[in-house]
Amino acid sequence: MTAGARDRRPLVEELSEHDLGRARVRLEHVMEVETGFRSASRCWARSDEPRPAFNPATTSVGGRRRAKVTELGALSETEAARLGLESVSERTLKRMAARYREYGLVGLADGRWTRQAGGHPSVTAEVEEAIRAVHEQCLRRSRISMASRERLVHQYVREVFPGREVRVPHRTTLARVWREWFGPGGARQRYVRSAAAVPAPTGALVVASRPGQVVVLDSTPLPVKVLDDVFGTPITVHLTIALDAYTHSIVAFRLTPVAESSIEVAMLLRDVLSPLPMRPGWGEDMAWPYPGVPAALVADLAGGPVAGLPFFTPEAITVDHGAAFKNHHLVEVARTLGVDVLPARAMRPTDKAACERAFAAIQSLLLELVPGWRGIDVADRGADPEADAAWTVAEIEHLLASWIVAVWQNRRLDQHAPAWDPSGRHSPNTLFAAAAARDGISLEIPPPQLYYELLPVHFVKVDPRRGVKVGGLWYGARSPALDPCRGVPAPRGGQQTGKWAVRRDPRDCRQVFIELDGAWHTLPWNALPEGETVPAFGDARVGEVLKEAVRAGLRPRTDAELLPVLLDLLAAVTPVEAWPGRPDARKKAATRARELARARAALSDRPVEQPPLAPVRRAAPGREVADAVTADRARRRRAAAGDTPPVPARALRDDVRSRLLYPIARPRSDHDEHDGQDGRLTGDAGGGPAGREEKG
């Protein structure tokens, strides 16, 4: 316990009814000593006041104090103990009067009545060390019971403090201390480890006191199977909401068939700034209801009737560490809108508890009633939620918008109330109306051009013929708006010197946008046919197409990537060794010429009986080696065969004819007749049926 905690002044609200009554009795005694009247005023004097011993006209303050000490000393032991006035002296009465003048009624209370909790005296320093050591071990182990933790505490004390008389408290005391120090511990073990790895907060807490001061953004998979708007197949969509921390108003929401991206979050922030238009089927009860600002004025500024949903420019947003919220694009969007980003701590959902609670309320109040509900846990899932899906994405989006405006904004907030009316009945609409009446409403409706400013920017150069290349595709080849920029560098300096800023919506890659002379121009994709409608496609589809092109070897390559291919082609025709004028090549040619000259000189020096050498012809450097290998193989074959001449192989035609069922007829000749006279059959040597018939 720190000194500041010991010196803390108690409050009257901390006194129980019994202690409050004792303090009032003490006050009467002190006032009678100081003024002569128990009520401290002659105007409210009792029938027996002033008593002779306390009459201010005939006695002094010192005399009255001595009389009060005598009076209180005559009290019975039981009554004095009840009042806490067992032993009272003049000095005690002086101190009580001074404390009353400084602190009021609570100054007369005995310090034992409001004594702070003394902690757990049985938890000594050794036991505290053991408990914290066991807690560190439990973070790394699987989850165990409190009884096992108690045994680990005993083991730590026994092994770390041998020879000491360390008394470990009872299990109930250890459980109470564990809950006070480390929380109830109902989370899953992996979440406990993740939360423990995050350092404790060091900054000040943010307390929202007005609408728009803090807007919490979060996303979750919608626990309802819905049908897509094209093929009607059951799919899972993601719900992203923007919740005002002060009024708990769901000021904007988005449904995305895929995981949310930064462009969806950027458009969600734009929805927070923009009023929600009235939709078909909405009645007057869902129109703009807030007092102080006429609905006609808001409708005139917004361009149509406005629904009863707050809109404002947020001062700060709180996001988690998801990929859609933690990227350069969202930071640039926040800078454009003038919004501060307050990231929540990792693995700390309590930093945006209001948003998590809103998700739970949406599920319990609305989504559980919608066909296709698939539950929170797999074990609680129905037999076939996909077969129960009956709402399309557009229909569920309209249902959510209607429910938010009609139900959520008018629902009583039981556990959330403003500091100025903690016991009042309030809803998001009434809180926003009260804030509007107190501080006013800033009707800053963003212009339509804000859409282009929130898109991701790409800095590119303009090709005179093909336009601009963004995301692997070419745009604006036939666009006249791009003519002043073709082949002209942009008047931009710094890191993007000479490049033009082009905006692209990743959800629809059929066109990009460029700002020229204060106006936005659309640059269509070069492959779009003129006068025809092409289905929209996003950057994910473009990435798949480019990957298929790379897989098929159709990826465009730069000169640096094609350089090895060019070198292989040149090496096959003119290798480096054959380059004319190269010093190494000239040296090798001279060496080869000397070798050939010496060989001819050696041949001329041999005796005349040797056969003359064949004329020397210039051959390729590797040809002589090949001829030498061939000659060596022929010499080895002749040596293996010896002096016996080789027998020629049987002709292929003879081998084929010997296996034929019918002989091949050929014209007779004189040689054939001679062969017949020698007793040999005409026709084939194998002797077929024709030969046997002729012989017979």
218-223 — which CB contacts under 8 Å span 24+ positions? 218/243, 218/319, 218/320, 218/352, 218/355, 218/356, 218/359, 219/260, 219/322, 219/324, 220/359, 222/255, 222/367, 222/396, 223/363, 223/367, 223/373, 223/374, 223/375, 223/376
Residue 671 has pLDDT above 50, yes or no: no
- First-to-last alpha carbon distance for the chain, in angstroms, is 136
Q: What is the pLDDT of residue 459?
A: 94
Tokens of 392: 């399309």
Q: Residue 299: is its pLDDT beyond 60?
A: yes
326-343 pLDDT tens trace: 888 988 999 999 999 988
Instruction: Name the amino acid, one letter, at 454.
Output: L
The rounded distance, in Å, linking the Cα atoms of 15 and 106 is 8
Tokens linked to 196: 């423990």
Q: What is the pLDDT of residue 9?
A: 66
pLDDT band at 425; cut points 50, 70, 90: confident
Closest CA to 404 of 293, 283, 241, 294: 241
Q: Phi-psi category of 469—alpha, beta or left, where left has phi over 0 and alpha has psi -120 to 50? A: beta
pLDDT confidence band for 397 (50 / 70 / 90):
very high
User: How many residues appear in the chain?
Assistant: 696
Mean pLDDT of 639-665: 60
Residues 12-27 pLDDT 10s: 777 788 888 888 888 8
Q: Give residue 379's pLDDT band: very low, low, confident or very high (50, 70, 90).
A: confident
Q: In angstroms, rounded to a whole number, what is the distance separating the alpha carbons of residues 393 and 398? A: 9
pLDDT of residue 86: 78
Asked whether residue 213 carries a pLDDT value surpassing 70, the answer given is: yes
Report which secondary-structure segment, H or E, holds 226: strand 226-227
Both tokens of 81, joined, read 């103990």
Q: DSSP secondary structure string, 625-656?
A: HHHHHHHHHHHHHHHHHTTSPPPPPPPHHHHH
Instruction: Count CA atoms closer than 13 A to 378's CA, side-chain side.
Output: 0
Higher pLDDT, 2 or 183: 183
> Within 13 A of 90's CA, how many CA atoms are on the CB side?
7
Of 345-354, 396-405, 529-538, which gets the smallest average pLDDT? 529-538
Report the alpha-carbon distance of residue 274 to residue 450 in Å, rounded.
Answer: 11
> Are the CB atoms for 225 and 386 separated by under 8 Å?
yes
Report the alpha-carbon distance of residue 436 to residue 428 in Å, rounded.
12
Read off the DSSP letter of residue 568.
H
pLDDT of residue 650: 64
Residue 237: is its pLDDT beyond 60?
A: yes
Q: What is the mean pLDDT of residues 93-122?
A: 79
477 contacts 532 by C-beta, under 8 angstroms: no
Q: Which residue has the higher pLDDT, 242 or 440?
A: 242
CA–CA distances in Å: residue 494 to residues 69, 118, 333, 490, 499: 88, 65, 21, 12, 10
The answer to whether 256 touches 264, Cβ cutoff 8 Å, is: yes
- Give me 508's structure tokens: 């629809």
Query: What is the C-alpha to C-alpha distance for residues 73 and 685, in angstroms, rounded to an integer?
Result: 157
Work out the widest C-alpha separation in the chain, in whole angstroms: 186
Percent of residues, the chain, with pLDDT higher than 90? 24
For the ranges 169-178, 205-214, 517-526, 601-610, the lowest mean pLDDT is seen at 601-610
Residues 286 and 229 sit within 8 Å (Cβ to Cβ): no
Average the pLDDT over 199-208 and give the result.
Answer: 66
Lowest mean pLDDT of 196-205, 211-220, 333-342, name the range: 196-205
Q: Copy the structure tokens of residue 610.
A: 């040797």
Per-residue model confidence (pLDDT) at position 239: 93
Taking the CA of residue 542 as centre, how many other CA atoms within 13 Å lie in the half-sphere pointing to its CB? 19
**Helix locations, 440-537, DSSP H:** 450-453
**CA separation for the pair 140, 156 (Å, rounded):** 17
pLDDT at 675: 45
The residue with greater pLDDT, 80 or 170, is 170
pLDDT, average across residues 337-366: 86
Q: pLDDT band for 528, please (50, 70, 90 cuts).
A: confident
The residue among 554 and 671 whose pLDDT is bigger is: 554
Q: How far is Cα 438 from Cα 418, in angstroms, rounded to an integer?
A: 13
The pTM score is 0.59
Most confident of 417-426, 441-450, 546-555, 654-663: 441-450
Average pLDDT of the residues of the chain: 79
Q: To 5 degrees, how large is the angle CA 661–CA 663–CA 668?
A: 170
Residue 664 has pLDDT above 80, yes or no: no
Is residue 554 over pLDDT 70?
A: no
Question: How confident is the model at residue 693, as a pLDDT?
Answer: 42
Q: What is the pLDDT of residue 1?
A: 40
Which helix (H) or strand (E) segment holds residue 520: the answer is strand 519-524
Q: For residue range 480-520, what is the model confidence (pLDDT) as tens digits? A: 999 999 888 898 888 889 999 999 998 888 899 999 988 99
Higher pLDDT, 102 or 540: 102
For the record, the structure tokens of 140 come out as 């790394």
